[in-house]
Structure 1
């Protein structure tokens, strides 16, 4: 006799299985939540002290590399063309930013005495993070107590030699360790702004800042953060790290970063700071934030064992790109441009291009090549800030729908099989065409000397036309014909008269480049969060360096 089925148990089992499948589906959906870049700011070589100035440098193909300025160190006292000369460096060039000794501590509630002990990397991080938030239209006072995460890449501690590592123990005071500890740099930023999300300093050398972006995206997708600051900082204040890289023979003796070129002979060190402000895309749209670009996916891995501790691993590079594509949910052929790590080393360039070709260049048509370039040819290798410099460049290229020229590419590297790969290097400003009416897509790679690799998939933001919004715009325009818009109140403030004058001058330049229809929004943002830090960047009242 056939036993009677226990329908209750069967239904319960089916319900539990459906519930588990639903949870797995929700988890998969959360992992693919797109993240919006709603603001960014930078201080890069060549006077690129804003995204606008950075784009000007990029589109005009400017090489910002110079000899080491005397304000850093006397390179003639350390120079020797022999790479084996003890205690000497053969590289006398770099990408430098101006006035790293300038800071307005009282703006951030820091006493001048404490500010002297602050690593200029901490000072610059405060300034650029503040202005990035303002560019994102965030009322900074309203962020206090919020679940805003902070993820920052920092590697070197050159400034500590003036106090902690000077050899004179009497120069160490209560502020020295706090002012030169990397974890305190991000901790101080969260403290000054009152942020209570996850806060961490990262150091995987060259991939630090792009890893910061990757982890910030994960935090947003998991709901751990609702807003995030991510980026990196790097300053060259003493010759010791450069001497070390010379002993590795990683640096170019010629003073140029010739990525992908047959004469590539190493990279040029660079410095700067870049910060992006991130939010879940759906929240950014709901909050009517400015969306500069969308991070569709990202991934990170490690080289594992390779030909050497610092040697790149092509298989690992290809794997991390494939993982990022999978998380983004896009096909390889949809990616039109990759901002390569591109250090300009004879070993690294062929390995990277072959990895790109393996994942992204297969089966491409002649009218859809994979464009590749590297900003290191413009500003040098910013090391712990290199990834975010590449990211901001790519965001700007998506916004302008143009690919900036890649410099110093005259004779293609013969170890790269160019004829077998559908890969092209732009040597002039190149229009970025759309692909079958799809949003433009780009990849950004950052591979650390430590072995940690990161790849990010970026998409241009195309706001969908909504009928209701279009009707509202038509109605608004019709009303405006009858009733012209009222005047708007534009407010600015500063703590001193000179600062107020400088701020007004900066706004004059800024407003000259903005569309008239943006004026109400600019006035609203200026009133909600007074743009004070603009007056503190570049021309403060005093110079403070210890020693």
Structure 2
């Protein structure tokens, strides 16, 4: 046994040089193969080289380095039916095997021994087929490719080398399945085998399908809207179930994304082919990515079949081309989570009315004591007692309610979880079914400042690694809300430190006045997953010893940190009145500025604050005499 990389010409030459003269080389069997499947647009040079190198480079090296070995009687190459029939997602693999097929013919033309056997699928899942799951095997079986028992495969190998033929195919075919695929998917994934179907019968079936497809739209148009939608939904669910190998279409959740149902780029092409044949349409291969759920796909199919405006489903909720810049912004719904057990606006009002103190110790589920670096007894005694305004049970979450897997939920920052919950509750508070807003141009504007949860994810549970980037990204905080509820207006995450939520509100109001969205969620969230903020300010001696801010007081001695989440639902006042929505408050004006090159990067500047207050009053059409309450933050 000599190990070497056969695709490395020098290494292979060195290995062949070890063959003793008294025992000359009499046979070569080349079985190497590597897969790197992907649809054509994803196959870059590197992915093609990965697959061609062990097949083509190694075979060519064997050919050139042994062509003068006169005792060589057999030169057998394991090719694949992917090069004969084609294979979904295997453009690179098909090309690699075609090279072997042609090399066998080239050698025979030169009087050299050569046999290439294009194998189908063998029963044992090992090596290149070890990764195949039941769904992939079912897909290949539906295409007419039956697995080959090893005993039969070995017998065919012996027979192949005895024929003297350069190229043979070793596989089992289900001709009935191939004919069925030709009917359900148009051309089918085994185009060269369509010749096995008698031409007159194939032509007759094709004509029948064309008539059936052309009449499909007419039949659909004759149905009441509700029945037409049901017929299309049944059609989509039936084909989705068939592609995924489900026994019944009833198991297909119509509101779930195709990706979550188990679709990949290959099954996406298969469902497109099936629906093309069933409806007579010419649908794109990106169908299930452009229309990500069965419900959304049904709307698209109905529009295409009946010649409707593509945006007809949401035309009633379209954004106004022009908006009244003087139209005030109404707050029609709200929700929140705050310290002191506050889980609703009513709870917050009660806490304020009673004057309760919501500052307390660190919740036990934070386990911050385990994160602290080792310190001496003296340092521990001198350290301040951590006090803050903490949201209890901030880690509690029901992922299934939002269609999120447990693995993804663990990788999600609790801030994203809280925003989902409070956004849902805000819609409920406004008397609006959140699911009714799917596909509408509603906006999301969220203020997020703290980004420390990612530091706790050094060891992510198996299967959750792919969710960390999206689960801890501030930009995803707003996008996840839009994705979950199907909102198609602007989705913006804002980080302007302590003013983030107010700036989000300001931007949302502008978007509504400018006609960029019909309604908007605006708010913010802050959950401290680690004690990092406390540690940083403690080093600067900036923490209040009792954890309480005493803004504008002589007793002010540092900052105190708190948490919370709050979301408002906004609408132009005229629109809220037209739709009969309860108006909880009105935002008449707002303003944002920066003090530029002032007395320090983080130092407040008095004149700049005066200017922004004057601007907000002017935008609202008010004077200082109209102001009853001022709320501010500070140390």
TM-score range, shorter chain: 0.5 to 0.7
CA distance in 2, matches of 1:70, 1:229: 32
Question: 1:191-233: per-residue Cα shift (whole Å, max 9, x none)?
Answer: 0000000001110110001000000000000011110000001
Q: Work out the CA distance in 2 between the residues paired with 1:80 and 1:340.
A: 38
Alignment deviations for residues 66-85 of structure 1 (CA, whole Å, 9 cap, x no partner): 12233223459859999xx7
2:8 is aligned to none
Matching residue of 2:593: 301
State the match for 2:366 in structure 1: 72
1:98 is matched with 392
- Cα gap change, 1:123 to 1:56, in 2 (>3 Å): same
Alpha-carbon distance between aligned partners in 1 of 2:570 and 2:327, rounded to the nearest angstrom:
13
Partner of 1:154: 448
Deviations 1:362-387 (A, max 9, x none): xxxxxxxxxxxxxxxxxxxxxxxxxx
- In 2, Cα distance between equivalents of 1:39 and 1:172: 35
Deviation of 1:185 (Å): 1.7
Q: CA RMSD in A?
A: 2.9
- Superposition map of 1:64-143 within 5 A: 64-74=358-368, 78=372, 90=384, 92-143=386-437
Q: Counterpart of 1:315 in 2: which secondary structure?
A: helix
Q: Does 1:315 align with 2:615?
A: no
Give me the TM-score of the superposition, normalised by structure 2: 0.47
Q: Give the secondary-structure state (helix, strand or coil) at the position aligned to 2:501.
A: helix
> 1: distance between equivalents of 2:575 and 2:383?
50
Alignment of 1:180-219 (within 5 A): 180-219=472-511
Alignment map for 1:360-399 (pairs within 5 Å): none
Residue in 1 aligned with 2:551? 259
Q: In structure 2, what is the Cα distance between the partners aligned to 1:292 and 1:169?
A: 44
How far is the alpha carbon of 1:39 from its aligned partner? 0.4
* Paired residues for 1:515-530 under 5 Å: none
Contact 1:79 1:89 in 2 (8 A): no
Q: Which moved more, 1:170-179 or 1:283-292?
A: 170-179
Aligned residues: 313
Q: How does 1:162-177 map to 2 (within 5 A)?
A: 162-163=456-457, 166=458, 173-177=465-469
Deviation of the 1:234 alpha carbon = 0.6
Deviations 1:38-62 (A, max 9, x none): 0000000001110111000001111
Consecutive unaligned residues in structure 2, runs of 5 or more: 1-320
Aligned to 1:238: 530
Gaps of 5+ in 1: 1-26, 346-547
Q: Which has the higher contact order (CA 8 A, sep 6+)?
A: 1
CA deviation vs aligned residue, 1:269-320 (integer Å, no higher than 9, x gap): 0111000000000100111101000001000001212222111111111111
Alpha-carbon displacement from aligned partner over 1:503-528 (angstroms, at most 9, x marks no partner): xxxxxxxxxxxxxxxxxxxxxxxxxx
Distance in 1, Cα, partners of 2:494 & 2:323 = 28
Q: By percentage of residues, which structure has more helix? A: 2
8 Å CA contact retained: 2:547, 2:561: no
CA contact 2:407–2:461 (8 Å) conserved in 1: no
Higher strand proportion? 1
Find 1:36's aligned residue among 319, 325, 330: 330
Contact 1:31–1:327 at 8 Å: present in 2 too? no
Following superposition, the deviation at residue 138 of structure 1 comes to 1.4
**Cα 1:331/1:192, change in 2 over 3 Å:** same
| Cα-to-partner distance string for 1:159-194 (whole Å, 9 max, x where unaligned) | 11122xx38999971111111111112111100000
- Distance in 1, matches of 2:568 and 2:614, equals 24
Moved over 6 A (4+): 79-82, 167-172
